[in-house]
Amino acid sequence: MQKIFDEVNSLDKRCYEEFFLSEDILMEHASSSMALYIEEKYHDKKTILIVCGSGNNGADGIALARLLHTKFDVSLYFYKEVKTDIGKVQYKRAKSLGVSFANKIQNADIIVDCIFGSGLNKSLDNQAISLIEELNSLEAIKIACDIPSGIFSDGQVNSVAFNADTTITMGALKTSLFSDTAKDYVGKIKVANLGIQRELYETNTNKYLLEKKDLKLPHRTKHNSHKGSYGHLNVVAGCKKGAGIIAAKAAFGFGAGIVSVVCHENLDLPYHIMQTHFVSENCTAIAIGMGLGKYEIDEVKKILSKDVKKIVDADLFYDELLLDVLDEDIVLTPHPKEFCSLLKICDIADITIDELQNNRIKYVEKFSSVYPKVVLLLKGTNVIISQGDNLYINTYGSAVLSKGGSGDVLSGLVGSLLAQGYEPLDAAISASLAHALAASNFKRNDYSLIPSDLIEEVRRL
């Protein structure tokens, strides 16, 4: 996993004060990192247009132009006159070397956005909006310096943002790059070296970006074992029985030794899935909520009172029954509407879905501060997983997963790992990664995924 920071000004300041690295040195190394990336990846391209703002993001762009000058046909365009002292120095350097300056936007093989940095905190004016819209309309490879212009420090977009193929962010990853809104603009994210190794530049944080290597698959290394060695998951099926059956199939395919569907009605289940009318005495985890619909309160209370690990999803996020188990080893997997209901039930916040989506991390942190033992997995374009003070972001998800039944598969995956003995946080992280990476491996049209496809891809990981 990689560290994520809400802001990096304090990290820059530490470089100045503790490591005696000047602002100029950091900027030169940042620009060198960007130049090296462009030279290595796009050495076959000819023309580059670098669009600069008046602040230090623009100064990065001027330094970049100087470094790429003679290697490419580089032009600098200024959205507004340079204002910062270091920007004025960079301007003099570029001008003395004969870097070209453009007085209008022109197409190029590569366009680099250096208009605004990660500290944007006020609405764009009409001139900026028109400029970004014009840049977006051009057929070119688009690279953003630090963060695509138009994305605010909270990760939101009020009007328009630069649509980057790649974002090269300065020094460290920023929280604003990982909002659901930002995902449509940032493209691939790279971190520029500032002349100091990341492990020295970065300090402690409570936010982390999950990577593929963080996936811990339930491989079986012990030969002397039997089905009971790998847990017994009970999946509670409700009114919409298909949801529970999907979860059960996913759980079995992800390593659970035994999977039983709990339902009073007789079900037509695959031969390898068992059925029971009541929770099994030897179950090691319970998955409940998927397709539950209307239910007998006393029966659900009894199920929730079982002293085993649980994954809770869907309909139970609308019932105060859930309050009785929020001090246990439990994983909650709500989508945004369900999470809004959960926040209200818990008397943490009464907000709309839009308010949540504009502040996902904020409300996840609020919930986890009240219920630090619970593992919360908030579904979305980027999945947020939180327990206590720590927060993890999974960015591997895609629109392929925007289908009914995908969430039921995820519930089954989490339940399977819980049944096999994973700790709740580890189960949520590995299940979420497996879920997203399996979808990314799906080779057919991105609109055509069905739950059985997703389960099959999980089995191939």
Query: Binding site annotation covers 260?
Result: no
> For residue range 199-225, what is the model confidence (pLDDT) as tens digits?
999 999 999 999 999 999 999 988 999
Tell me the CA end-to-end span of the chain in Å, nearest whole number.
Answer: 19
pLDDT band at 119 (very low <50, low <70, confident <90, very high): confident
Query: Binding site annotation covers 119?
Result: yes
Q: Which residues of 272-368 form beta strands (DSSP E)?
A: 274-276, 285-288, 309-312, 330-332
Say if CB 330 and CB 417 are below 8 A apart: no
Query: Binding site annotation covers 440?
Result: no
- pLDDT at 353 (0 to 100): 97
Q: How many helices (H) and strands (E) does the chain have?
A: 15, 19
Query: Binding site annotation covers 58?
Result: yes
Q: How far apart are CA 211 and CA 169, in angstroms?
A: 18
- pLDDT at 18 (0 to 100): 94
Q: How far apart are CA 1 and CA 377, in angstroms?
A: 17
- pLDDT at 297 (0 to 100): 83
DSSP state for residue 323 in the 8-state scheme: G
Close Cβ partners of 298 (under 8 Å, ≥ 6 residues apart): none
Buried b (16+ CB within 10 A) or exposed e, 195-228: bbeeeebbeebebbbbeeebbeebeeeeeeeeee
DSSP state for residue 230 in the 8-state scheme: G
Q: Helix, strand, coil % (nearest 5) of the chain?
A: 40, 20, 40
Close Cβ partners of 224 (under 8 Å, ≥ 6 residues apart): none
C-alpha of 307 from chain center: 32
Q: How far apart are CA 119 and CA 279, in angstroms?
A: 53
- pLDDT at 295 (0 to 100): 78
C-alpha of 284 from chain center: 30
Provide, rounded to the nearest whole percent, the portion of the chain with pLDDT above 70: 100
Say if CB 50 and CB 112 are below 8 A apart: yes
- Across the range 14-30, mean pLDDT stands at 95
- CATH class of the 213-217+226-460 domain in this structure: alpha beta
Close Cβ partners of 364 (under 8 Å, ≥ 6 residues apart): 376, 378, 384, 386, 391
> For residue range 140-194, what is the model confidence (pLDDT) as tens digits?
999 999 999 999 989 999 999 999 999 999 999 999 999 999 999 999 999 999 9
> For residue range 36-74, what is the model confidence (pLDDT) as tens digits?
999 999 999 999 999 999 999 999 999 999 999 999 999
> Is the pLDDT confidence value at 3 over 80?
yes
> Is the pLDDT confidence value at 112 over 80?
yes
Query: Binding site annotation covers 150?
Result: no
Q: How far apart are CA 393 and CA 395, in angstroms?
A: 6
- pLDDT at 294 (0 to 100): 77
pTM metric for this prediction: 0.94
Angle made by CA atoms 437, 443, 447, in degrees to the nearest 5: 90
**Strand order through the sheet with 285-288:** 173-174, 2-5, 207-209, 390-394, 383-387, 375-378, 330-332, 309-312, 285-288, 232-236, 258-262, 274-276
Sequential DSSP letters for 92-112: HHHHHTT-EEESS----SEEE
Query: Binding site annotation covers 431?
Result: no
Query: Binding site annotation covers 113?
Result: yes
Query: Binding site annotation covers 53?
Result: no
Close Cβ partners of 405 (under 8 Å, ≥ 6 residues apart): 242, 243, 246, 450, 451, 454
- pLDDT at 281 (0 to 100): 93
Tokens read off for 49: 């247009």
Q: How far apart are CA 46 and CA 28, in angstroms?
A: 23
> For residue range 402-411, what is the model confidence (pLDDT) as tens digits?
999 999 999 9
Say if CB 391 and CB 207 are below 8 A apart: yes
Query: Binding site annotation covers 122?
Result: yes
- pLDDT at 317 (0 to 100): 95
* φ/ψ of residue 164, rounded to 5: -85, 145
- Across the range 23-44, mean pLDDT stands at 96
pLDDT band at 121 (very low <50, low <70, confident <90, very high): confident
Query: Binding site annotation covers 408?
Result: yes
Q: How far apart are CA 118 and CA 7, in angstroms?
A: 8
Domain positions in the chain are: 2-205, 213-217+226-460
Say if CB 318 and CB 296 are below 8 A apart: no
Query: Binding site annotation covers 407?
Result: yes
Query: Binding site annotation covers 56?
Result: yes
Say if CB 252 and CB 273 are below 8 A apart: yes
- pLDDT at 160 (0 to 100): 95
Burial of 272 (0-12, 13-18, 19+ CB in 10 A): exposed
- pLDDT at 117 (0 to 100): 84
> For residue range 431-446, what is the model confidence (pLDDT) as tens digits?
999 999 999 999 999 9
pLDDT band at 391 (very low <50, low <70, confident <90, very high): very high
- pLDDT at 122 (0 to 100): 86
pLDDT band at 345 (very low <50, low <70, confident <90, very high): very high
CATH superfamily of 2-205: YjeF N-terminal domain (3.40.50.10260)
Query: Binding site annotation covers 243?
Result: yes
Q: How far apart are CA 163 and CA 199, in angstroms?
A: 30
Average pLDDT, the chain: 95
- pLDDT at 34 (0 to 100): 97
Q: How far apart are CA 126 and CA 50, in angstroms?
A: 20
